[in-house]
Amino acid sequence: MARNRGTNGREPRVPAASFRRSGDFVPRRRPPADSFRRSGDFVPRRRPPAASFRLGLAPALALLALGCAPPPDDLDPGAETRDLIHFLRRLRAPDHLPELEASHTAMESTWDRTGGNRDWDDFKRIEGEHNILLDVDGPGCVHRLYTGLTGAAVEGTRIQLFLDGAHAPTLDLPVTELFSEDGQSPIPYPLVQNRTLPGTHLPIPFERHLKIQLVNPERRNWGVYWQVTYTRYSQGTPVRSLRLPFSAEEREELDRVASRWLDAATWPPEEPAAWSLVRRLTLRPGQTRLIELGGCGVIRELRVATAPATPKVLRGVRLKMFWDGSDTSSVDVPLGYFFGHGDAGHVEGARFSSLVLGVTGREAYTRLPMPHRDGAALSFENRAGETVQLEVKLDVDRCAGRLPASWGRLHATWRSGLAATDASPTVGPLSVPAHPVLDREGRGKYVGTLLHIDWPFWLPWWGEGDWLFWTDEQAWPPSYHGTGSEEYFNCGWTLFERKAMSGYITGRPGPVGFYSFHLNDAFQFQRSIRVLQETVGSLYGDAIIRLLHPSWGTTAFWYADRALPAGSLPE
């Protein structure tokens, strides 16, 4: 099908005086209703109910208790006001991902504080007919609001948003109406969705304060599996609170984002009019080939075609990247686990597209920006035991001046090993085994994850484990605590679909693979970051994990304020 996306077929980039090119968009059709992948039967997910308790602590006090104070002042006096349009524009392209700043991303959710698996209704603050999901000071922005079910589970329940201390809610709707895809919601699909998991990615900026609460006069039907992901910014950051109804300009920008997300999930980005570099490489067994770039620039897109594109080769060719003359690699990942096709190659069922990364029938691509001030090098090492052909394409912006001082360098850390062994870290009151995704010190920003698990089973479920993020904090619990594995990929009930920012690559049975990326909700850190995924299953899945120890691997994508060693394992 012919595609016309403007002068160069690409989405407009975040403005930057140092770099070239922009483009526009055209609306695309909504994918068919059956486009999601069924990765397991709809079955009861959780363990039998256990006693729970509720605390009335405000989120701000919780942050302080975790050793996670509000972010320090680190402001640009000429900073753009962060209003709804600002956040929406940043949902259309990944160009801003290298930006580092002092902010903190966290989550309020119904995770089980006893350490068990009753993550559906451990509400932290119920006051009569009000169930407060979030109560936090600004400046900040909510990026993601999800729940487990609509309909009968929330019958008679409304959701309300109170901004900046106002007595009247800015938004007051039945929960089911807010998450409706049929036009009842003020939010367009796919920024609101209700297929595998009801949720919205509408940015909710707040200048001074935000309270999100559920209201039910009968004090019941609160729903299940609530998650609210939000970021707090440095004091003085200019933020303009959400206003409703949307203005004409805001509605237009909402439609742009909706069209862009549908487009990105349907097919890969069009190629540039001319690639900056195209290199064809032959790698004999044990051979390493290098592609070097001089000077200052940003790699905007990387595509690699591999022959033969078998799992053995895609896992056996090691991709490394070096920035600014460093002699240690900041990216160090098997080629197939950098792009997500390491377990399936280019077979039709494993092809996917997203705003950030994808796999076509011939090649794999990423649009993660890769800034470098003093040169870059890409290394391809053949450990596959057979001759490999590569075609490497780069789209590079050369600096007209110098890189913005706040831009970090891309890192990719691969961690793969057996799940739930004696060597695995454990977390929480019940010492739940977990897979280590990333554990680093310094300043940076976490922007995405690939997950791959060896799971040759259909019904037993591998994904009860929660995702945990500690940023500039050490104590339990972390300020970001999920309610299950699939929710991190914006899916639910053991079902997965493919979206612009998250989804499945391959499903059960066999090696399973998934991707999730963060734009506005990326995790900034000033001193340290630790990311874990609990390795917990159900329907005999937990026994399989603890007794058979399946292979469990992740690729963490993050930026640091300078080139650092990737720290991948195994090396």
Given this model, what pLDDT does residue 52 score? 30
Number of domains in the chain: 2
What is the Cα 534 distance to its own chain's centre?
17
Given this model, what pLDDT does residue 400 score? 76
Burial of 14 (0-12, 13-18, 19+ CB in 10 A): middle
Average pLDDT over residues 452-473: 97
Average pLDDT, the chain: 89
Same domain, 363 and 405: yes
Give pLDDT tens digits for 474-502: 999 999 999 999 999 999 999 999 999 99
Same domain, 146 and 187: yes
Element spanning 304, H or E: strand 297-307
Given this model, what pLDDT does residue 78 score? 55
Q: Could you tell me if 88 and 350 are in contact, meaning their C-beta atoms sit under 8 angstroms apart?
A: no
Print the SS3 string covering 170-225: CEEEEHHHHCCCCCCCCCCCCCEEECCCEEECCCEEECCEEEEEEECCCCCCCCCC
* Residue 415 lies inside a defined structural domain of this protein: yes
Give pLDDT tens digits for 501-560: 999 999 999 999 999 999 999 999 999 999 999 999 998 999 999 999 999 999 999 999
Q: Which residues, 6+ apart, have CB-to-CB distance to 182 below 8 Å?
A: none
Is the model's pLDDT at 70 over the cut of 90?
no
Is the model's pLDDT at 43 over the cut of 80?
no
Domain region containing 292: 277-560
Same domain, 344 and 206: no
* Residue 4 lies inside a defined structural domain of this protein: no
Give pLDDT tens digits for 198-249: 999 999 999 999 999 999 999 999 999 999 999 999 999 999 999 999 999 9
Q: What CATH number does residue 183 fall under?
A: 2.60.120.1390
Given this model, what pLDDT does residue 79 score? 79
Given this model, what pLDDT does residue 64 score? 35
Given this model, what pLDDT does residue 36 score? 34
Average pLDDT over residues 6-34: 34
Same domain, 228 and 372: no
Q: Could you tell me if 156 and 216 are in contact, meaning their C-beta atoms sit under 8 angstroms apart?
A: yes
The CA R_g of the chain, rounded to the nearest whole Å, is: 23
Q: From CA 557, how far away is CA 408, in angstroms rounded? A: 12
* Residue 1 lies inside a defined structural domain of this protein: no
* Confidence band for 76, pLDDT divided at 50, 70 and 90: low
Q: From CA 362, how far away is CA 345, in angstroms rounded? A: 9
**Higher pLDDT, residue 517 or 8:** 517
Same domain, 319 and 467: yes
Q: From CA 507, how far away is CA 455, in angstroms rounded? A: 9
Q: From CA 193, how far away is CA 527, in angstroms rounded? A: 36
Going by their DSSP bridges, the two strands 370-372 and 317-323 should be labelled as unpaired
Q: Give the end-to-end CA distance of the chain in Å, rounded to a whole number.
A: 43
Same domain, 397 and 255: no
Question: What is the DSSP secondary structure assignment for residue 29, as one 8-state letter?
Answer: P
Same domain, 322 and 202: no
| Domain end position, chosen among 236, 266, 296 | 266
> Which residue has tokens 């920024």?
191
Same domain, 255 and 353: no
Given this model, what pLDDT does residue 554 score? 98
Is the model's pLDDT at 349 over the cut of 60?
yes
* Residue 18 lies inside a defined structural domain of this protein: no
Give pLDDT tens digits for 260-287: 999 999 999 999 999 999 999 999 999 9
Given this model, what pLDDT does residue 2 score? 34
Given this model, what pLDDT does residue 539 score? 82
* DSSP result, 349-369: GG-B--SSEEE-SS-EEE---
* Residue 49 lies inside a defined structural domain of this protein: no
Is the model's pLDDT at 342 over the cut of 50?
yes
Given this model, what pLDDT does residue 521 score? 98
Same domain, 453 and 480: yes
Element spanning 290, H or E: strand 288-293
Q: Could you tell me if 453 and 511 are in contact, meaning their C-beta atoms sit under 8 angstroms apart?
A: yes
* Residue 33 lies inside a defined structural domain of this protein: no
* Residue 108 lies inside a defined structural domain of this protein: yes
Average pLDDT over residues 448-473: 97
Answer positive or negative: Cα dihedral of 256, 83, 197, 153: negative
Q: From CA 289, how far away is CA 379, in angstroms rounded? A: 6
% of residues, the chain, pLDDT over 70? 86
Q: From CA 300, how far away is CA 96, in angstroms rounded? A: 11
Given this model, what pLDDT does residue 138 score? 98
With CA atoms as reference, report the closest residue to 12 among 407, 354, 300: 300
Given this model, what pLDDT does residue 25 score? 29
Average pLDDT over residues 28-41: 34
Burial of 30 (0-12, 13-18, 19+ CB in 10 A): middle
Is the model's pLDDT at 47 over the cut of 70?
no
| Domain end position, chosen among 266, 286, 319 | 266
**Higher pLDDT, residue 33 or 373:** 373
| Domain end position, chosen among 240, 266, 292 | 266
Average pLDDT over residues 128-138: 98
**Higher pLDDT, residue 9 or 160:** 160
Same domain, 282 and 261: no
Same domain, 262 and 322: no
Average pLDDT over residues 292-312: 97
* Residue 272 lies inside a defined structural domain of this protein: no
Average pLDDT over residues 183-210: 97
Average pLDDT over residues 96-108: 98
Same domain, 194 and 304: no
